[in-house]
Amino acid sequence: MLEALRQIAEELNQTLNPHQMLDRVVSIVQGHLAVDVCSIYRADVTGDNYVLMATGGLDPSLVGRMRLPRDDSLIGYVAKQGKTLVLRDASAHPRNCEFPPLRGDQHYHAFMGVPIMRRRTALGVLAVRDITQRQFTRDEENWLIAVAAELAGALEDEAITAIESVLDTASPHSSRILRGIAAAPGLAVGEVVLPAPEADLDAVPDREPSDVLAEENRFRTAVTQVQADLRSHGAQLAIALPATDVHVLFNAYTLLLGDSHFFEDVRRRIHAGNWAPGALRATIEEYARVFDAMEDAYLRVRAEDIRGLGRRILLRLQVGSLKPREYPKHCVLAGEEISITRIADVPTEQLVGIICNQGSRYSHATILARTLGIPAVVGLRDLPLKQMEGRTVVVDGEQGNVFVEPSPTLLQQFQQTLHRTQDHITELKAQRDLPAITPDGQRISLQANAGLPADIERALAWGAEGIGLYRTEYGFVMSEGFPSEDSQFELYREVLTGLAPKPVTMRTLDIGGDKGLPYFPVMEANPYLGWRGIRLTLDTPGILVNQLRAMLRANAGCDNLRILFPMVSTARQIDEACALLERAREDLRQGGQTVAKPAVGVMIEVPSAVYQIRALARRVDFFAIGSNDLTQYILAVDRGNARVAKLYDSLHPAVIAVIAAIARTARRYGKPVGVCGEMAGDPAAVILLLGMGIDEISMTAVNLARTKAVIRSFTQSQSRRLLLKALRMEEADQVRALLNDALAKAGLDDAITTTQIFQSTLSEDTGSNQTAGA
């Protein structure tokens, strides 16, 4: 029994495809217990039915289609009771319903069902049946309970049930929700379009060329055509983006195509006896394999960039000229991963959303989506892409949800939300120059987060009072190597002069965790607790000094620079960082430059820093709370891990208490404190930040208008009362309900998330669509 359980644990940990994983589990259970049927059921989004997710012994076509009602089936009874049910003859049980016969007229008798529990909630049921009137032993019961416990974490991944729901053609009018990672904010409704089929590099065989020089020329022509494609894409994007951003985004592609080593590697293989497609395939494989072997998610994305470029060259080798494709008016681009060239294929005025199975917040594509203001959701995992073409979806880039084939009721709700939001935004834009002051006179500095020059224009358009967080790592991410001091100077100068005299807070290089550099791989077992932020830059002082020199030079004549050090966990780290800053200033002074000393701040995102505010306050001028990492560390939750991501919530009472304590202590020592994580753009959280006395809030530019509306609607005394109530609560959902109620009473209903809209209409949409399985 232990060996079979170990086998199941290995399958759950190693199998990437959830369908294969569940199929393997039922196969192992069926064989180990020698039963006729083993099945796994999962509760649907309503909780009223249990959907067959995997089976051994039943017709496989029933998977995703057979639904057993909670109130009228043995499966539902087991889930509702939350305990194991063992029956020698299930036919005598009042909840037993008709079941597909195994063969002939034989029916099932013996039954054992175990609830799959997660946080005291039945996610589903693991059940076995047999045609004999067999009595399952206590050991068999305990073993099946252990298997169900192993399954709980995997089955909590809602992608598994959502995928089957998408494919459930028996329920064409029901709405389904897929959950992924929110990569670019916004809400959009559109028609799914899959990228045009690309040439398949893996299918290219080796073949001896009949004419080596002709093959070389053919490859050269294909590369020239792809370069022309990229120039055309760049010109199209330049309509919506500054030229600097376009250059930065396409830099990786143009550098590879212009790389003499890349061209020479392909040419060498052609002359060694392989035709152009085969030589290209082998070269791309060699380049991509290096990145595939790396653990860092960002670096694996770079491998896909290389393969994508290889497929484009191969397509040119195979067909030469390409016909332009027509796209729907409201296009949602879907794929395994979406490259920036795929985004550029679609006219910017028609592209309304992006969804994909893979990807991260820091891929080139998601950075471009944020820059263009296009909502994007990534990390959907096993979305059946081939069956998504032409489907209507709602992309919620705020919460990381995708609503597939929304019902007329739900679609109307979303359309109304979009129109209401647009109308509200128009009203708020008219007030963009009004100060962010509470009705009782408390002023808050509203600033924007940025990482590319286009973000500066957007921040100013939305009325930002400055840049509260400039992510300098974007310039490093988009480069093929560590950027020189001069190239950094040019970028920072553009930002500082574009905002002057408004303040710009530049965070020094912050890589590690979910952010990596393709040319500087850092492979660690636990990167979030590893060599990242100031830890890395203090260990590589040349990188930090070059960056500090570039910042100081760029600040000449602007005097609006503030420098922020990330991932600080000890006071000594600030001493060392400030010493390097002084060294950079001294270097420049010796070179004859007059260098002003900028304000220096610390990012409070590590729990140890929370308890060292007094020591840090003696060394710095301001504090900035990085709510994303701070929440992650306080709650011990990796928000990129689908099994525990639900536990990540910055409105958790513990997180609120910590941030309130930081604000109190900083105020005691006369240091201003700001918040610059996702919490700052959450209208509900903003109420609490007001109550804490936070001095400045920095967020994505598109959230500035609604945040200002919240600030101008709540007095600080109101906010303090709500803060005290929130601190007495025990769960994050209780806090959010309290704050959403306050927002609604203040007439700020647009702050209610699309997820809540979905929940409010779900029962109506699915009430007439409950299929009682046999």
Compute the distance between CA of residue 401 and CA of residue 414 in angstroms, rounded to an integer: 13
Q: Among 32, 109, 233, 364, which one carries the catalytic annotation?
A: 364
Looking at every residue in the chain, the average pLDDT score rounds to 81
Lowest pLDDT segment from 115-124, 316-325, 349-358, 405-414: 316-325
* Both tokens assigned to 297: 């998610």
Three state DSSP letters for 283-295: HHHHHHHHHHCCC
Q: Within 13 Å, how many C-alpha atoms sit on residue 517's CB side?
A: 20
Compute the distance between CA of residue 32 and CA of residue 26 in angstroms, rounded to an integer: 10
The residue to which tokens 């007229």 are assigned: 105
Counting Cβ atoms within 10 Å, is residue 118 exposed (0-12), middle (13-18) or buried (19+)?
middle
Active site residue 676: yes
Helix axes 212-238, 297-319, angle to 10 degrees: 120
C-alpha angle 343-639-730 in degrees, rounded to nearest 5: 135
Cis, bond preceding 242 (omega within 30 deg of 0) = no
DSSP 252-320: HHHHHHT-HHHHHHHHHHHHTT--HHHHHHHHHHHHHHHHHT---HHHHHHHHHHHHHHHHHHHHHHH-
C-alpha 89, offset from chain centre:
48
Q: How many CB atoms lie within 10 A of CB 183?
A: 25
* pLDDT of 281 higher than 60: yes
pTM for the whole structure: 0.63
Give the residue among 30, 294, 49, 268 at the shortest CA–CA distance from 140. Answer: 30
Compute the distance between CA of residue 563 and CA of residue 421 in angstroms, rounded to an integer: 35
Mean pLDDT, range 570-591, rounded to an integer: 95
User: How big is the chain, counted in residues?
Assistant: 774
Contact assessment for residue 722 and residue 738, using Cβ atoms and an 8 Å cutoff: yes
What local confidence, expressed as pLDDT, does residue 38 receive? Answer: 93
Predicted confidence (pLDDT) per residue in 47-59, tens digit: 678 888 888 888 8
* Both tokens assigned to 357: 């199975």
User: What SS3 class is residue 559?
Assistant: coil
Predicted confidence (pLDDT) per residue in 663-720, tens digit: 999 999 999 999 998 899 889 999 999 999 999 999 888 788 889 989 999 999 999 9
**Can you name the residues that pair with 625 across neighbouring β-strands?**
604, 675
Active site residue 19: no
Contact assessment for residue 673 and residue 746, using Cβ atoms and an 8 Å cutoff: no
Predicted confidence (pLDDT) per residue in 421-471, tens digit: 667 667 767 777 889 999 999 999 999 998 877 678 888 888 899 999 999
Counting Cβ atoms within 10 Å, is residue 250 exposed (0-12), middle (13-18) or buried (19+)?
buried
Which letter, b or e, does each residue of 300-323 get, where b requires 16 or more Cβ atoms within 10 Å of its Cβ? bbbbbbbbbbbbbbbbbbeeeeee
Compute the distance between CA of residue 154 and CA of residue 21 in angstroms, rounded to an integer: 9
* pLDDT of 477 higher than 60: yes
**Can you name the residues that pair with 637 across neighbouring β-strands?**
none
